[in-house]
Chains A and B, each alone.
Chain A
Amino acid sequence: MPPPWSPRSDLVTATLIVVGTSRRSTTGTAHVVLVAGKGGVGSTTVAAALSLAAARNGADVLLVSVDGKPGLGPLLGGQPLGPTEHVLRTFTGGGRIRGRTIPPEQAFGDYLDLKGLGGIVRKAVSATSLDMVAASTPGLEHLLVLGKIKELERTRAADLIVVDAPPAGHAAPFIRSARGLQAVVSNGPVRQQADEVAEMLADPARAEALLVTLPEETPVNEVIELATEVEDDLRLALRPIVVNACWPDRPGLALTVTAAARESGVTLPASARSALVGSSAFGRARLEVQREQLLRLATAYPHAAVVLPRMPTPRLMPHHLELLADALDHAEALR
């Protein structure tokens, strides 16, 4: 019996679709990469694969999970992530991956310390009162987390800081928080923080966003909207969009099973034929949807995109992540 899943070259060749050129020449030297996408598209996986690819190539990587996904640590071969950073994995050649979360309460406390307000307020300002402070200053929680990331960037805490941004409806407000607060708050430390974060986000040498989507209609619509907003309104440089979980194209499915067998010169037993007919019909329809959606993305957003292979498992393991990192490396080499 063959292994349930063996790495095959046809899955690892990520396709880099380049239609036109990137709006900015994203050199890939930015220190901070914000990875974002709608819930369920796999942006956390892509953040992990990106970290792995960079660390394997010798980079000192800090992976920050804003949402505190504990499973990220084990996926990268280390302990679950926590609020203090720890090394998840080291590589021969000097690269390593450290990981941590940034809980808003902690970012708030660190921020107060930084401004010399810590000691006095610490006792009074509990997590509940952060809720209240945050309520009266919308976007503050996001800004504090981004501010902490900016501090890490400013102190060169790593060669590359990969941020797994909050999913679903939260990705855009997260990235937008600095701008939003600039509009509401006219002076004081929050304004200063918002200015500094906005400055970092607008500098393509310091920060980029990497948006993740799936080859399906709704995710493609949403990533197009998000890309426009991030690039045009927020002036944040975009890496090529990553289309996650694409099945390898199988052009042979265009033929019926019988015609394909004839062309391949194979005599198919009836039981083999009937086993293939159902899966091929399903595959034909799904691959057609995938092709349509990739084309739609390329038309609506005529810039570079990277296609990552679908791993044939619902539960991603470290060796799958290696394959995804291979695919990202491959796409990088094509650029």
Chain B
Amino acid sequence: MSGSLAEVLADAQLLVTCGPGGVGKTTSAAALGLAAARTGRRVCVVTIDPARRLADALGVDAAASNVPHEVVGAVEGKGSFSALMLDAEKTFDDLIIERAGDAAQSLLDNKVYRSIAGSLSGAQEYMAIERLHQLHHSGDFDLVVIDTPPSRHAIDVLEAPDRLVKFLSNPMYRTLTLPTRSLARVTNAASGAFLWTVKRLAGPSIVEDTLQFFRSLSGMEAGLRQRAAEMSTLLRDERTAFVLVSSPRAEAVDEAGFLATALHDGGFHLGGVVANMVHPLPPALPASFDATGVTGPLADHIAYHHDLRTLALAERDELEGLRLLARGAPLCEVPLLDHDVHDVPALIELAAMMTG
């Protein structure tokens, strides 16, 4: 059951980092990928929305998005370390072009499609998985690491393929895609009400675009379903490992707990837990030393020590919570560093901490 993150990095073909916001998930994904690359594997890290300096360190920016390219100076020997920044809209467009055949252009031009590609809840998550699938099957990489998008509910990314299938199975959607010529011939009460609602709310032109969008989509429905099913299987493969990243903050731990349960219930494989940004625990002051009444600069040292030790001890309790939700998978504690991680040497240092 147990083992180490190093073993997970040696075996996995896909690695998905997930966790609450603000816990250093993107940096962890990059460091884990780098650690695997430094053992000789060909690794690609897919980031969604990296902080600017990390993006600079990885050499990914908007101009060079969606295509993997090698990070220089990261790996010696036979491994390789590449990175790319996900462009969800571009990935969606490519999928449409690949799957929709003749209807592709009208679909790409459709106003409703354009807004959905950019903002449909779940579209970004779905496209992250889609890109992961493409890279996995390209044969260029031994391991693909993906950082999940910041989402209100981190679980969204896992449910994205299933949700698309559900969306396509909605009876209203089915009625909408019937080859009717006018609204009057839509007899299904539910879809009629739906169209009427949209029309009343947003105006008739949106209704026309919506109808056209759903009809164009119907041509590629089977393809999308098949792809969604493939991805659903791939995400549950035993060589796909999920790494849950959290900080010791109670809110983060609670959310990580929710996510761990969702992974377990969904049949996903939890490869490990990273407890990130843990404050170092300084040793206690000896009982014989009486700190009361100390003034001057030493009082600052004593006060800081007291605050840090109080916080670090309380964090150890929260770590127990993380250990429980790891359910036997390796837990890796990463200390809060006294500097930010935004260059390759700092990533190498972090990679060593995670696997050392």
Residues of B near A282 (CB, < 8 A) are: 280, 282, 308, 338
**A72 CB to nearest chain B CB (Å):** 11
Known contacts A167-B21, A170-B152, A272-B289, A187 near B203 by CB under 8 Å:
yes
Q: How big is chain A's contact interface, by range?
A: 35 or more
Quick check: A188 and B203 within 8 Å, CB to CB?
yes
Quick check: B172 and A289 within 8 Å, CB to CB?
no
**A258 CB to nearest chain B CB (Å):** 10
Known contacts A285-B338, A314-B248, A139 near B119 by CB under 8 Å:
yes
Quick check: A272 and B22 within 8 Å, CB to CB?
no
Which chain B residues numbered 166 to 217 have a C-beta less than 8 Å away from chain A? Answer: 166-167, 170, 172-173, 189-190, 192-194, 196-198, 200-203, 206, 209-210, 213
**B264 CB to nearest chain A CB (Å):** 22
Quick check: A280 and B296 within 8 Å, CB to CB?
no
**B290 CB to nearest chain A CB (Å):** 10
B324 CB-CB contact with A under 8 Å: no
Which chain B residues numbered 68 to 85 have a C-beta less than 8 Å away from chain A? Answer: none
Quick check: A188 and B170 within 8 Å, CB to CB?
no
Quick check: B189 and A137 within 8 Å, CB to CB?
no
Quick check: B51 and A264 within 8 Å, CB to CB?
no
Report the Cα distance A274→B250, complex, angstroms: 30
Quick check: A124 and B280 within 8 Å, CB to CB?
no
Known contacts A5-B310, A131-B167, A169 near B49 by CB under 8 Å:
yes
B352 CB-CB contact with A under 8 Å: no
Quick check: A216 and B340 within 8 Å, CB to CB?
yes
- Quick one: closest A residue to B288, CB to CB? A269
Quick check: A128 and B170 within 8 Å, CB to CB?
yes
B346 CB-CB contact with A under 8 Å: no
**B109 CB to nearest chain A CB (Å):** 16
Quick check: B21 and A263 within 8 Å, CB to CB?
no
User: At the interface with chain B, which of A198-206, A234-242, A244-252?
Assistant: A244-252
Report the Cα distance A4→B149, complex, angstroms: 37
Report the Cα distance A264→B299, complex, angstroms: 8
B236 CB-CB contact with A under 8 Å: no
B318 CB-CB contact with A under 8 Å: yes
Known contacts A133-B197, A282-B280, A314-B248, A40 near B285 by CB under 8 Å:
no
Quick check: B299 and A252 within 8 Å, CB to CB?
yes
Report the Cα distance A247→B306, complex, angstroms: 12
Quick check: A190 and B307 within 8 Å, CB to CB?
no
Which chain B residues numbered 273 to 294 have a C-beta less than 8 Å away from chain A? Answer: 280, 282-286, 288-289, 294
Report the Cα distance A38→B251, complex, angstroms: 14
Q: Which of B22, B200, B206 meets A189, CB within 8 Å?
A: B200
Per-residue CB proximity of A265-286 to B under 8 Å, as 1/0?
1101101101110111111011
B249 CB-CB contact with A under 8 Å: yes
Residues of A near B192 (CB, < 8 A) are: 124
Report the Cα distance A120→B339, complex, angstroms: 59
Report the Cα distance A311→B342, complex, angstroms: 27
A166 CB-CB contact with B under 8 Å: yes
Known contacts A124-B194, A286-B338, A253 near B300 by CB under 8 Å:
yes
Report the Cα distance A168→B198, complex, angstroms: 29
A185 CB-CB contact with B under 8 Å: yes
Report the Cα distance A281→B280, complex, angstroms: 11
Quick check: A272 and B285 within 8 Å, CB to CB?
yes
Please give the residue numbers on chain B whose beta carbons come within 8 Å of chain A beta carbons, in ascending order: 20-23, 49, 51-53, 112, 115-116, 118-121, 149-152, 166-167, 170, 172-173, 189-190, 192-194, 196-198, 200-203, 206, 209-210, 213, 247-254, 280, 282-286, 288-289, 294-305, 307-311, 314-315, 318, 336, 338-340, 342
List, sorted by A's number, 13 A–B pairs whose CB atoms are closer than 8 Å.
A41-B22, A136-B116, A136-B210, A137-B201, A137-B206, A138-B116, A138-B120, A166-B152, A170-B152, A252-B296, A257-B301, A271-B286, A276-B285
